[in-house]
C-alpha cells in the first residue's frame, strides 16, 4: 500500500512571489507530495523537508530562510477552499 507524504511550506511576503488584488506582497503556500511504499521515519522526513526547501529556494531564486515549513493543517486552513478535503487544490 502506497503512502503519500506531504511537505507544506509558507513563503514569506518578502520573497515577492505573490501579491494581493492591490499589488501588495503577501505570503504564498506551496505543497510537495511524494509517493512511497512505506511512511518515512522522523529523521528521514526532516531531511526531505530541508531538501525540498533548498530545491524550492533554488527554483524561485529566493533565500531559503523565506521558506517556512508548516503543518499540513496550517497549509489546508490557508489553501483549501470550502468543500475541498484532499489537498489537491493546485
HEC per residue, 41-60? CHHHHHHHHHHHHHHHHHHH
Q: Is residue 42 part of a domain?
A: yes
Q: Is residue 19 part of a domain?
A: yes
Tens digits of residue pLDDT in 1-21: 899 999 999 999 999 999 999
The domain of 57 spans 3-78
Q: Is residue 67 part of a domain?
A: yes
Q: Is residue 72 part of a domain?
A: yes
- Please report, in tens digits, the pLDDT of each residue of the chain (90 residues total): 899 999 999 999 999 999 999 999 999 999 999 999 999 999 999 999 999 999 999 999 999 999 999 999 999 999 986 545 554 444
For residue 13, which phi and psi values (nearest 5 degrees)?
-55, -35
Q: Is residue 31 part of a domain?
A: yes
Question: Given this model, what pLDDT does residue 90 score?
Answer: 42
Q: Is residue 36 part of a domain?
A: yes
Q: Structural domain tally of the chain? A: 1
Q: Is residue 83 part of a domain?
A: no
Q: Is residue 18 part of a domain?
A: yes
* pTM summary value: 0.85
Amino acid at each position: 500500500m502506497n503512502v503519500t507524504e506531504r511537505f507544506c511550506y509558507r513563503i514569506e511576503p518578502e520573497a515577492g512571489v505573490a501579491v494581493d488584488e492591490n499589488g501588495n506582497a503577501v505570503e504564498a503556500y506551496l505543497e510537495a507530495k511524494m509517493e512511497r511504499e512505506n511512511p518515512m521515519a522522523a529523521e528521514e522526513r526532516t531531511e526531505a523537508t530541508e531538501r525540498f526547501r533548498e530545491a524550492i529556494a533554488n527554483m524561485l531564486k529566493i533565500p531559503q530562510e523565506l521558506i517556512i515549513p508548516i503543518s499540513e493543517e496550517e497549509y489546508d486552513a490557508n489553501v483549501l477552499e470550502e468543500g475541498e478535503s484532499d489537498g489537491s487544490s493546485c
